[in-house]
Amino acid sequence: MGMPPTTYRKGGAGEVITYACRHTAFGLLAMAATDKGVCFAQFGDDQASLIDELRAEFPGAELSASPVDDSPELDAWIEAMNQHLSAGAPRPELPVDMRGNAFQLKVWQFLTGTREGDTLSYTQLADRIGQPKAVRAVASACARNRVGVLVPCHRVLRGDGSLGGYRWGLERKQALIELERTRKLGS
């Protein structure tokens, strides 16, 4: 999991990133992938702003819109995500091409191993990765996550149990947590 640091620092220079925007149960989702896997999965209100965010994240990459016929895998991945969000399917196990510093990758990798329906605080997460004084850095890593739901930062709460922040809105965070808790109770 992870884009090479030199490629990330160069804004994805030399990378070809294919993207698609589709409506899901949680709103419009833009998903983008390199040949290694999903590097961007974000919710938003309109396609133009989502594509602007993708360009800002990878200013040196060649971006290519994906019609259904040209990238059936990307559409299948988005559909798998939507089935997870709307119909109770398991969280899709998609290849992920994350980019970030070593600490961020450590946080994101830990979160991908958390169980659906479980939550933890930023302090607990810092403790569990062996960095108990890095609570603010953990929160920052969660905020920098560009791969929504696949890297489940929505499972991290404030120490008092309140939602805290979420890059795609507190309503989505609350809905994701409730969806996962409901599924956990039903299993």
At 40, which helix (H) or strand (E)? strand 38-44
Q: How many CB atoms are closer than 10 A to CB 175?
A: 15
Judge whether 142 counts as a catalytic residue: no
C-beta contacts of 158-164 below 8 A and 24+ residues apart = 158/121, 158/122, 159/121, 159/122, 159/123, 161/121, 164/122, 164/139
The Cα 18–Cα 62 span in angstroms is 8
Q: What angle do CA 126, 32, 80 make, to 5 degrees?
A: 85
DSSP 95-151: -B---S-HHHHHHHHHHHTSPTT--EEHHHHHHHTT-TT-HHHHHHHHHH--BTTTS
Give the angle 31-37-40 at the CA atoms, nearest 5°.
30
Residues classed as catalytic: 153
